[in-house]
Amino acid sequence: MSYPAVRQSGKKKSFFIRESQEQKMLDATPVNIMTCDPRTFTIDYANETTINTLNGLTHLLPQGVSGDNIVGQNIDIFHKNPAH
């Protein structure tokens, strides 16, 4: 699976990284949205709703994980056995 990319200042950037109307819509939507790199499964985007939701559920997340630091984490942190 390939994600759309854009060229900005000669560099290829992920669709979800560029500041755009689409980005603003994703950030403002009242639905939890996260994306991850399909090769590494590292979370590379979480909208504001997701961050707020996860901050409210911090007590249920692994120690040290919150909405504020979810970007950059591997999605396996949500697995029953993260070391699987």
What is the pLDDT averaged over residues 5-10? 42
Question: How much is the pLDDT for 4?
Answer: 46
Give 27-62 pLDDT, tens digit per residue.
889 999 999 999 999 999 999 999 999 999 999 988
| DSSP secondary structure code for residue 23 in this structure | H
pTM of the model: 0.70
> Letter for the amino acid at 38?
P
Q: How many residues does the chain have?
A: 84
Torsion, Cα of 2, 74, 30, 16 (10° steps): -30
In angstroms, what CA-CA distances link 46 with 10, 11, 29, 42, 73? 26, 22, 11, 11, 11
